[in-house]
Amino acid sequence: MAGRDRYSRRMTTTFDFDACVVGAGAVGLACGYALARRGLSVVVLEKERAIGQGVSSRNSEVVHGGLYYPTGSLKARFCVEGRRALYPFLEAHQVAFRKCGKLVVATSEAELPRLDAVAAQAERNGVEGMQRLTGAEAMALEPGLFAVAALLSPESGVFDSHGYMLALQGEIEAAGGAVVLATPLERASPMVGGGFEIAAGGEAPAELACRLLVTAPGLSAQGVAARVEGYPPGLIPALHYGKGVYFRLQGKAPFERLVYPPPIPGALGTHYRKDLGGQGVFGPDLAYVEAEDYSVDPARAAGFYAYVRRFWPALPDGALSPDYAGVRPKLHGPGEPQPDFRLDGPDAHGIDGLMALFGIESPGLTSSLAIGEAVATRLAPS
């Protein structure tokens, strides 16, 4: 990148890169990959010293089928499209995954209408291979499980999200792009005649000019948008931090498949997964917090025991230990309806060449390749 003097306040059509992406999480890297695949030169700026240290490092690593999201929403579309693209990408790049399938279980008659609602939504969303099971059928598949009925989603799985992000970085670099670490975006100024002048901080502050700009900074989406000169403040949505904690099972993992109770308002609910290392993990729950906070309060275990025993009655006392926490970049507060992903382009904010992403919570990992494609299509239609 060039020095500060060279670019200040210039009016130019000479760009250092066609596109600059802010944030090297799964979504920013997928955007960079999609833009690079269109032949554009791409730089991804990341404030941390390594890629994937944000929301993309603290989640369930589940490939979601796309069952739950309202038909026609970006979440429904990107989850299904992203999932369909993700497995072949992982296979081609030798990134570990296990397409283990998922059981959504009703553990009481009262939950059956919620299971029916998920089944109907999954059908409307075009999710492949969904099967309705009786409790006996589900319990035969997973001995030790308790269910009065279940849905089987064979397309769901778990994967190595960090290996995935490394593969995306590799693709961007192989196309001649760059992923620049420890380099936070500080300011983006739209230039006369189009494009952006970018000021980046860190140990080696630098400026560069690019034609297109994508902001995908996860929990910093609101703060980064405010650093784009001329971004209408009224169009920056409120940020809510939706914290979720996980507990790890000491002992043998009881089930092969993911096990999810019906979703709770605002999240998919505490679920079970056998991770790629073969260990059982439960979580995340949902609690709104005022700031990023990754502590795991051991006292929350009591709630986990009660919840998990609804579908795994044999969970032994003392088997759960605090594991890790993640924070969802939510656009809604407690009790408010859950909004869609926001991919705000020039039609929303009036700034040519800019896509600003907000509220990329779950299923953002699963959706990432589809989000990247959508962003690239908007900015660089082929």
Ligand X SMILES: Cc1cc2nc3c(=O)[nH]c(=O)nc-3n(C[C@H](O)[C@H](O)[C@H](O)COP(=O)(O)OP(=O)(O)OC[C@H]3O[C@@H](n4cnc5c(N)ncnc54)[C@H](O)[C@@H]3O)c2cc1C
Interface with ligand X (CB under 6 A): 22-28, 45-48, 53-56, 58-62, 64, 184-185, 216-220, 224, 244, 284, 326-328, 360-366
Please state, in angstroms and rounded to a whole number, the distance separating the CA atoms of residues 44 and 31: 9
CB of 365 to ligand X, least distance (A): 3
In this structure, are strands 240-249 and 258-260 parallel, antiparallel, or unpaired?
Answer: unpaired
CB of 133 to ligand X, least distance (A): 22
CB 250 within 8 A of CB 283: no
CB 153 within 8 A of CB 122: yes
CB of 343 to ligand X, least distance (A): 11
CA distances from 148 to 63, 133, 134, 211 (A): 25, 9, 7, 56
Residue nearest to ligand X (CB): 364
Q: Which is nearer to ligand X, 277 or 318 (CB)?
A: 277
Q: Which is nearer to ligand X, 211 or 271 (CB)?
A: 271
Q: Which is nearer to ligand X, 65 or 149 (CB)?
A: 65
CB of 179 to ligand X, least distance (A): 11
Helix (H, G, I), strand (E, B) or coil at 170: helix
Cβ-based neighbour number of residue 381 at 10 Å:
7
Q: Which is nearer to ligand X, 47 or 211 (CB)?
A: 47
Helix (H, G, I), strand (E, B) or coil at 135: helix
Q: Which is nearer to ligand X, 47 or 98 (CB)?
A: 47
CB of 377 to ligand X, least distance (A): 18
Q: Which is nearer to ligand X, 164 or 311 (CB)?
A: 164
Q: Which residue has the tokens 């502590």?
A: 295
104 pairs with which residues across the strands?
Answer: 151, 260
CB of 234 to ligand X, least distance (A): 21
Q: Which residues neighbour 99 within 8 Å (Cβ) at sequence distance 6 or greater?
A: 63, 87, 154, 155, 156, 157
Q: Which is nearer to ligand X, 54 or 280 (CB)?
A: 54
CB of 95 to ligand X, least distance (A): 15
CA distances from 303 to 246, 299, 300, 308 (A): 12, 8, 6, 9
| Torsion angles phi and psi, residue 80, rounded to 5 | -70, -50
